[in-house]
Chain A
Amino acid sequence: MEIKPELVNTLLDVHPDLTPGVMTGLAWYFLLAAMLNAAAAAFVAYQEMVSEGASRDGLAPRTRKLPDALVVVFFALYGVATLLLLAKGFLPKSFDVATIGYGLCALANVILAITAGADAAHWAEKKYGHDGAAHAGPATLDDHIPAVGIGGPINRTLWSIVWAVCAVIFQAMGLVYILHGEYALPDFIRNAIDLVSGPTTFFTGATLAFFAMYFYRKYLANGVVAWWMVNAFLMFFGLSMTDFDFRDIVTKPDNVPIVGLIVLVGFFTWLSLRRAVINDARMAQGLPNLEELDPEKTLTWPDLVYTELIAMVALTIFLVVWAIALQAPLEQPASSTTAPNPSKAPWYFLGLQEMLVYFDPWMAGVVLPSLIVVGLMAMPYIDTNKQGNGYYTIAQRKFAYLTFQYGYLVLWVVLILLGTFLRGPNWNFFGPYEYWDVHKLIPLNNVNLSEIVWVQMLGTRRPDNIILRELPGILVVLGYFVVLPPLMERLFFRKMREQGGWIRYSVLAMLILFMASLPIKMVLRWTLNLKYLVAIPEYFFNI
């Protein structure tokens, strides 16, 4: 007899937030977070900091060297811990190797963090002295030359101490878990997050975050701000992993790459944003951009081939470790009679599957994906802007940047996240900490436009003639695709049309309108419960 896992779960309540394995994992996760912050503290305290494109000329001498003793102590502690863990089999059982090894690593992190923070504070004191007057000291704090456009030099003392404190906090959390402290994310926080999350808040929030990223890019490009966000993500992710349901979804083998995707897309979006901000500021001052700084050529052997070799070796190691650590998923043998609920496409198509909520399959599965491909191909021919070729910039190509980024980050990546992590049985929305209940009922009271116009507004029954019945929707759709393009040309795209001609402009307008149709359809659904603008199920023609 087949025993359904849901049944077992309900009977035994096997949804433990914390198990010994999870707690060990969390302990090491927070150890890593602490190590990252200790390293950040040491970097700010000791590293000679010259940002992209800033000149090293006239810098203070490198007096603030990373103390050798600190390096030795740090790596020695990690080394001893590694040896202990490797020699586990030879040591007596009563000797708790895992905890002691962990303790050594934690000690190394804390020593690094505290020394770095204390050293930075010590130098600040040396320079300014207790009487507040500046003294001629051996070390100064002004050798940090920020990149053009990133703002003033950062306060080394302050930020070494802040990152050191973050390291100690993360490390303390790790120690709680290794010593079997059962701390899970409080229920009221989980419930509150589940309560406010929904397709509406999630998508609107992502859109707002996107525009915030664009408008405040100058601040975001600053390393300090970015590191705060890294820490916030580390904390959120670590604490969320204490929730059974969150963990259950995130650690499904096929979902692990998406966690990697978030990290990589986040990092590269930030990196490109930073370089664009620096370039834009440099070009505004008449300086060459970062890509023009070094026009020299170099021999491919050894400079490029060695980089490639190292990249290939690193990638091979990465793949082999991943393959050993995580087994490829294999479920029950295929059965065409028992469909899993939810049935999901592979993760990279989940953005398209999410579109099925708002569009019929012929739009979400055929027309829109084809237009994505066609639109991408058409891009270099529509974009007549000659600037921004071969270097990072936002200011010189705002329209292209905003359009592409909105399409990629929000309409593609964010929808994949939504489809993967937040859509459960029957494609219902579930909060990040919500149990995927098959019986969750979401009332569906969506209505078609013909219903709204004929029945609700005009108070009559809907006409029998299909064309007449759907006339309101047909007019709306025709207006959208026929009236809007010339109107948009008048209002926004006059220059672009003059540059590229009517054919380029028409293609652009069509692509933009199709792209915008998704968020528009979403808003109509959330506000009017609108199902279809034009609904002709007789001919499978629903828009």
Chain B
Amino acid sequence: MSIAEKITESQLWKSVFRHPMPTDRRNRVVVMLTNFFLHLHPVSVKKQGIALSYTWCMGGTTFFLFIVEVVTGVLLMFYYRPTLEHAYNDILALRDVTTLGIMRELHRWGAHAMVIAVWLHMYRVFLTGSYKPPREFNWVVGVLLLVFTLLLSFTGYLLPWDQLAIWAITVGSNMARATPGVGVEGPGASLMKLNGVSLITSGSDAKFALLGGRSVGEMTLNRFYVLHCVAIPLAVTILIMIHFWRVRKDGGISGPM
């Protein structure tokens, strides 16, 4: 018995991998059923459905980039402190002195790539008409994932706390001030009065809620950090699970109906 056989016949190995290497038809089928990660897939797929010129591989690319973002993001969280005192210097140190400071580059470029990949994935789904019944709802989930991807990118943009960051967020969040009804400079806000007292002021409007202050400051950094690292990733993870589950339930990889 060779060493390789000894290992693959051991109790330890067999407890992890229930079946031998998927080299024959039977084991290629069971490996998809008994492996937690692989059972995301069906046992067999339509040949044309997995052709690159048809799918462009963009949905999978988006998911992989999300995983890259999670891994590099967690590593960055070990190092970065979201306070006015430390934020900028921590990023500076990541660039100049920290071992594996390249995680920041991977994280940032991965984020840009993820935005592009989401767009291209939706583009393909539109062009092949794959949002049509029975996949309508999964398209809706996909649109939500698009919105959350953009919000993830937007909230992350502030964290380096440099000029690029705060002014981009300032420009972006100024819009909230103009939200109809709940923004201090939005139409209808001046009508929201109780006994002559304005309910919507610059200290109580939508922009204030978003920024945690009248302008981009330390509370904004804190809010965006929590949104970026906890709240939105959680929401995205749940939506991704629904999205994948529905792909299977709605008939698998799309193709001519």
> Which residues of A line the B interface, CB within 8 A?
52, 254, 257, 260-261, 264-265, 268, 271-272, 275-276, 289-305, 307-308, 311-312, 315-316, 319-320, 322-324, 326-336, 338-340, 343-346, 348-349, 352-353, 360-362, 364-367, 373, 376-377, 379-381, 383, 385-393, 397, 400-401, 404, 408, 539-541
Interface size class of B (residues with CB under 8 A): 35 or more
Contacts of A365 in B (CB 8 A): 174-176, 178
Contacts of B57 in A (CB 8 A): 307, 311
22 pairs, CB–CB < 8 Å, chain A vs chain B: A265-B119, A275-B53, A292-B48, A295-B47, A297-B47, A298-B45, A300-B43, A308-B60, A311-B57, A324-B105, A327-B105, A328-B104, A328-B108, A334-B166, A343-B167, A362-B185, A373-B147, A380-B132, A380-B136, A385-B132, A389-B132, A404-B126
CB pair B123–A408 under 8 Å, yes or no, is yes
A540-B132 contact, Cβ under 8 Å, with A334-B162, A391-B256: no
Rounded to whole Å, the gap between the CB of B161 and the closest CB of chain A is 5
Q: Determine, out of B8-16, B150-158, B227-235, B237-245, the stretch whose residues face the partner at the interface.
A: B150-158
Decide if B41 is an interface residue (CB 8 Å cutoff).
yes
A311-B60 contact, Cβ under 8 Å, with A268-B124, A380-B132, A389-B129: yes
Rounded to whole Å, the gap between the CB of B66 and the closest CB of chain A is 12
Interface of A is mostly: helix
Q: Once the chains are docked, how many angstroms separate the CA of A300 from the CA of B46? A: 9
CB pair B187–A540 under 8 Å, yes or no, is yes
Decide if B183 is an interface residue (CB 8 Å cutoff).
yes
A268-B186 contact, Cβ under 8 Å, with A302-B28, A304-B50, A334-B88: no
Q: Once the chains are docked, how many angstroms separate the CA of A151 from the CA of B174? A: 53
CB pair B115–A348 under 8 Å, yes or no, is yes
CB pair A345–B168 under 8 Å, yes or no, is yes
Decide if B212 is an interface residue (CB 8 Å cutoff).
no
Known: A275-B54, A319-B106. 13 other contacts (CB 8 A): A297-B44, A297-B47, A300-B28, A315-B61, A316-B68, A322-B105, A326-B105, A328-B108, A330-B92, A361-B185, A364-B175, A390-B128, A392-B127
Q: In chain B between 1 and 40, which residues have their CB closer than 8 angstroms to a CB of chain A?
A: 22, 25, 28-29, 31-32, 38
Decide if B102 is an interface residue (CB 8 Å cutoff).
yes
Q: Once the chains are docked, how many angstroms separate the CA of A372 from the CA of B154? A: 18
CB pair B153–A319 under 8 Å, yes or no, is no
CB pair A332–B163 under 8 Å, yes or no, is yes
Contacts of A381 in B (CB 8 A): 136
Which residue of A300, A312, A361 contacts B177 across the interface (Cβ within 8 Å)?
A361
A304-B41 contact, Cβ under 8 Å, with A276-B127, A319-B68: yes
CB pair A366–B180 under 8 Å, yes or no, is yes
A330-B102 contact, Cβ under 8 Å, with A268-B124, A299-B43, A366-B179: no
Q: Once the chains are docked, how many angstroms separate the CA of A399 from the CA of B113? A: 30
Q: Once the chains are docked, how many angstroms separate the CA of A383 from the CA of B170? A: 38
Q: Which residue of B lies closest to A391 (CB)?
A: B256
Q: Once the chains are docked, how many angstroms separate the CA of A302 from the CA of B47? A: 12
Contacts of B215 in A (CB 8 A): 336
Q: Once the chains are docked, how many angstroms separate the CA of A373 from the CA of B108? A: 25
Which residue of A291, A343, A366 contacts B175 across the interface (Cβ within 8 Å)?
A366
CB pair A346–B153 under 8 Å, yes or no, is yes
Q: Once the chains are docked, how many angstroms separate the CA of A271 from the CA of B128? A: 12
CB pair B131–A272 under 8 Å, yes or no, is no
Rounded to whole Å, the gap between the CB of A538 and the closest CB of chain B is 8
CB pair A294–B47 under 8 Å, yes or no, is yes
A299-B44 contact, Cβ under 8 Å, with A292-B256, A346-B154, A377-B140: yes
Q: Which of A323, A360, A392 has the most CB of B within 10 A?
A: A323
Q: Once the chains are docked, how many angstroms separate the CA of A462 from the CA of B109? A: 54
Q: Which of A289, A338, A539 has the most CB of B within 10 A?
A: A539
Q: Once the chains are docked, how many angstroms separate the CA of A240 from the CA of B250? A: 48
Closest 10 CB pairs of A and B: A365-B175, A323-B105, A380-B136, A361-B178, A257-B112, A362-B178, A541-B187, A388-B129, A334-B166, A331-B163
